[in-house]
Amino acid sequence: MKNSLKISNIIPPFRKKINIEGDKSISIRWALLASQASGKSTSHNLLRSEDVIDTLNCLKKLGIKIKFSKKSCQIFGQGLNSFNYDKMISLNAGNSGTLGRLILGLLIHSRNIIKLKGDESLSKRDFYRVTKPLEKFGASFKSNNGKLPLTIVGTQYPRPIKYRENKGSAQCKSSVMFAALNTKGKTIIKAKKSRNHTELLFKYLGIPIKVTKRIGYDLIEINGRRNIKPINYKIPSDISSSAFFIILTILSKNSELTIKDVNINPTRTGIIKILKIMGIKIKISNKRSYKGEKIANIYVRSQKKLKAINCPTKFNSSTIDEFLLIFLLAARAKGVSCFKKISELNQKESPRLIWGSKILNKMGIKTILKRDSIKIYGNPDLKIKKKILIKDYLKDHRVFMTSVVAALTFGGDWEISDKDSIKTSFPSFIRKIRILGAKIR
């Protein structure tokens, strides 16, 4: 198989401290907002992954000057609605739903037609979920059934809107928030709870935003067309990338790991709450605040006994990118675990709920998979002896990395295709796995 990774040995015990790369959601949001600020914004520890580089390339095409070196990234914003580009341009969002959906919010003013395209995986994903609310501002879209490629023509006179976000999607919420930035008047969003990095950045920048917390949803009010000051930011480590190493450590033998400076924003840390319910000890230390975000060090060690979980649905949004890893814990746990109302997983880079079930079945774990739920019959004694092939998964980075964690902890003879998929979110993943002592080819 082309470009595959082969793993035939579980990882030997390790005791290490590691750093993880910058948070993807914050990196993309920082760059998009910096493009709207008046003046030079600088970031350190910006994630150097394809999703973020695609973001910078889209902004460059829109006339924004950017300097990106090993040490820092500088974006020279020229204020709200100051994109400057040729008549018919084409932007490529690559693999990134966050980039594709959020940037549309900044384009509702475009005078000319802008085309937005993406890779094979992104072209299968739903864009109606953002084009429908953005149309209410006055922008026009053409697409084939809400899929990429699409075109947008903006409006010179956007109207503020009232919008109800009921999927728990931070991408939908943020796309509308970005459109509100450039729209005179008050936009009101009633949003099911989801990651709130955009809200925190807006608040930090002094953009007029009011967030009222209600049971199950947030009411967000934004007054647009206020000048944005430059944003200097040190991006914290990504909890979703850290999660691969957290679960690897828990499922390994006699191992310990400390990860430093991880973003532990409560809208992202469903995984920590789920680990606690499953009887897993995890230590969070040196907690501090940074520009509205919360940061801490995380310590975990191997854990022999795991409890099955009937996962409360209130954790779904704050765990959305970590479910594949939680499924591996459920595979090792004693008893049957149950996860409900998670059909959104099938809207990701691959149909991830289906892939989660497939990986477990290949490992010899029984699952009952429905449209929006899964039951996992754990087996604490599972030791895989057979050959397992993982391929044709639309190069979903999280399917790849989850399979690597499974191979290094449950045994078996694995071959996993498309190792380049890690470039999307976590380019140093394989190098870091090797540093811990894993033997992989």
Q: Does 104 bind ligand S3P (CB under 6 A)?
A: no
Site for ligand S3P in 190-249 (CB under 6 A): 194-195
Query: What is the closest distance, in whole angstroms, from the C-beta atom of residue 364 to ligand S3P in the complex?
Result: 29
User: Residue 394: which of 348, 428, 327, 361 has the closest Cα?
Assistant: 348
Query: What is the closest distance, in whole angstroms, from the C-beta atom of residue 286 to ligand S3P in the complex?
Result: 25
The mark string for 299-338 relative to ligand S3P (x by CB under 6 A, - otherwise) is ---------------------xx-----------------
Judge contact between 11 and 227, C-beta under 8 A: no
Strands in 19-125 per DSSP E: 38-44, 65-68, 72-78, 89-92, 114-117
Q: Does 251 bind ligand S3P (CB under 6 A)?
A: no
What the block records as the tokens of 401 is 């990395």
Residue whose beta carbon is closest to ligand S3P: 25
Beta bridge partners of 258: 17, 299
Distance CA 147, CA 123 (A): 6
Residue 140 backbone phi and psi in degrees, to 5: -120, 140
Which are the contacts of 326, defined by CB distance < 8 A and separation ≥ 6? 247, 271, 274, 309, 311, 319, 339
Q: Does 169 bind ligand S3P (CB under 6 A)?
A: yes
Q: Is 321 a catalytic residue?
A: yes
Among residues 23, 119, 321, 396, the one annotated as catalytic is: 321
Q: Which of 170, 259, 326, 404 binds ligand S3P (CB under 6 A)?
A: 170
How far CA 157 is from CA of 111, 327, 392, 430, in Å, comes to 11, 48, 45, 49
With CB under 6 A as the contact rule, which of the stretches 75-83, 163-171, 227-235, 267-275 interacts with ligand S3P? 163-171
Strands in 193-323 per DSSP E: 209-214, 217-223, 233-234, 256-263, 282-290, 293-301, 310-311
Query: What is the closest distance, in whole angstroms, from the C-beta atom of residue 394 to ligand S3P in the complex?
Result: 15
With CB under 6 A as the contact rule, which of the stretches 74-82, 167-175, 280-288, 356-364 interacts with ligand S3P? 167-175
The neighbour count for residue 253, using CB atoms within 10 Å, is: 12
> Of 115 and 167, which CB lies nearer to ligand S3P in the complex structure?
167
With CB under 6 A as the contact rule, which of the stretches 136-144, 168-176, 226-234, 365-373 interacts with ligand S3P? 168-176
Query: What is the closest distance, in whole angstroms, from the C-beta atom of residue 195 to ligand S3P in the complex?
Result: 6
| Contact residues: ligand S3P, CB under 6 A | 25, 98, 169-171, 174, 194-195, 320-321, 344
Catalytic residues: 321
